[in-house]
Amino acid sequence: MTGESGFQLKQGGPHVYELCWVRAQMGRCAEELVAAAGVSPGDWVLDVACGTGVVARTAATRSGTAANVTGTDVNSAMLEAAARFAAEAGLADITWLECDAAAMPLPDAAFDVVLCQQGLQFMPDKAGAMAEMARVMKPDGRLALSVWKTRAPIGAAFATVLDRHFGAGTTAPWELIYSLGDRNYLHDLAKGAGLRQAHIALDVKFARHPEPEAFITGAIAGSPIAETMADLPEAEHTRLIKEIVAELADFHDDDGLASPAQCLTLTARK
């Protein structure tokens, strides 16, 4: 899709993610996560599974010192994009590190705050990742971590339309996004990592976008089904996008798409 929305179906994942999800939802979520951690001027901050770096950028702005912020991710393309977006925002001093969250080459007790936005559910060794986050925190350091609780209306709309068109199970890989919505399990992970004062809050994060079709196009372009959709005739592609938007008819307001998603936010101290 081209035009005023700026979306291109075959654009790379990081670019699409920043244009689509960060604008619609994850940018505001990052602000709320950083606030939940109480990031303050001078804090040393680690953003685990940083993706395109929106949390790291938000933390750097709040702390006032980009050089005190580090972002880690296993995806080199995401890190390259994160560095570019940070430089464009005047935050070029953020450090970016490619590594597994369960084996971070970082010193013990190095950070006042550790953040992880919607990343833990994708990690094969969740307990190991939590233990690493605790290890690199200073004594009395703070953790703020978020995960989606249940499938959101956007995910349900994708499943309804795309599974119907391409076959049952087409969107099954996306279910990992909602695989860590068990509050008791999150508490167990925090306790196993030796963290204290663990507190989990449930709230709702909205994906808001003034152009619903542009948003859905971008969301799919950054998804596992992107290439399959890109190979469709234009008319068929447009029809499926419109069907997904129609499934979300109950989740609009006068400003466009307004789709809720239940989120669990864990805060804790070392």
pLDDT more than 70, % of the chain: 96
Average the pLDDT over 222-242 and give the result.
90
Going by pLDDT thresholds of 50, 70 and 90, the confidence category of residue 13 is confident
pLDDT of residue 3: 34
**Residue partners of 213: CB distance under 8 A and separation at least 6:** 1, 5, 241, 242, 245
pLDDT in tens, 96-150: 999 999 999 999 999 999 999 999 999 999 999 999 999 999 999 999 999 999 9
Collect all residues with Cβ–Cβ distance below 8 Å to 218 and sequence separation of at least 6.
5, 7, 16, 19, 20, 21
pLDDT at position 12 is 58
Sequence-distant (≥ 6) Cβ neighbours of residue 94 within 8 angstroms: 53, 56, 57, 60, 66, 67, 69, 70, 71, 82, 83, 86
- How many other β-carbons are positioned within 10 Å of the β-carbon of residue 100? 16
pLDDT 10s digits, 163-205: 999 999 999 888 899 999 999 999 999 999 999 999 999 999 9
pTM to 2 decimal places: 0.92
On average, the pLDDT of the chain sits at 93
| Beta pairing class for 95-98 and 69-73 | parallel
Instruction: Tell me: pLDDT of 238 over 50.
Output: yes
Residue 124: exposed, middle, or buried by beta-carbon count in 10 A (0-12, 13-18, 19+)? exposed
Residue that has been written with the tokens 């809720």 in this structure:
260
The predicted-structure confidence for 60-109, as pLDDT tens digits, reads as follows 999 999 999 999 999 999 999 999 999 999 999 999 999 999 999 999 99
Amino acid at 40: S
Mean pLDDT of 204-222: 93
Radius of gyration of the chain (CA): 19
Nearest to 15 by CA among 104, 81, 62: 81
Residue 7 has pLDDT above 50, yes or no: no
Residue 11 has what pLDDT? 46
